[in-house]
Amino acid sequence: MWLVLDGASNLLWATAQTSLRNKETIQALRLWTDENHCTPKAIVGDEAFFQEDFLTSYRTHRIKECPCGPRTPWPTRAESAVRLFKRQWQIMSKNLEEDRFRGVTVREAVERTVWARNTQLAVSGYSPLEIATGKRPPDLLDIETSDPAQLSVDPLPEDRTQQELQRLALKAHQEARQSADLRHDMARGTMP
């Protein structure tokens, strides 16, 4: 799994990888660049992202290098986001073992997991997706907010699977956030 966190909007992007090879990770960065139609101004990361292959790619695209030291004493926002996403992914992947999700690819599940995280409201009252694009995220199909046409039609099997994946991803995100908040509250209450 390779994650990109936009420092300005806190928008997360992820893709599944088959290995940790530099070539595959650089290809994932190219994919991010193509999907977002922009090139990052700077990359902050640990030493793994500043090997010679990465540096050549960064310099080719005029990306500023901001490496963190090997024992950085504080967690960065990206590390916090990665930790929360990993917990969310654990919950999500455990729930995907059911038979009804047999045809779902890892890439689809990762996309739904990222979607759930990016559409949830932040402290500012806006979602990362809304901050990045200026558009409200689409509402999930809900009985209270749906019109009669949506409720009377039987969705296609693919649409039904995507709706179930979205609900599952939202549930996993909520559980991961609650778990992180609980750990944070317990740590704050512990005296040194």
pLDDT digits (tens, 9 = 90+) for 53-74: 999 999 999 999 988 876 666 6
Average pLDDT of every residue of the chain: 86
Separation in Å, CA 108 to CA 95, 113, 139, 156, 161: 14, 9, 19, 17, 11
Neighbours of 53 (CB within 10 A): 14
Greatest mean pLDDT among 52-56, 123-127, 154-158, 183-187 lies in 52-56
pLDDT value of residue 73: 60
**Strand bridging mode 2-5 / 12-15:** antiparallel
95 Cβ contact partners less than 8 Å away, ≥ 6 residues apart: 168, 171, 172
The answer to whether the beta carbons of residues 114 and 12 sit under 8 Å apart is: yes
Residues 91-107, mean pLDDT to the nearest whole number: 83
> Where do the structural domains in the chain lie, given as residue ranges?
2-67, 77-189
Q: Where are the beta strands (DSSP E) in the chain?
A: 2-5, 12-15, 42-45, 64-67
pLDDT band at 154 (very low <50, low <70, confident <90, very high): confident
Neighbours of 37 (CB within 10 A): 6
- Determine what percent of the chain is predicted with pLDDT higher than 70: 92
- Cα-Cα-Cα-Cα dihedral of 106, 108, 111, 117, to 10°? -80
Is the pLDDT at 143 greater than 80? The verdict is no
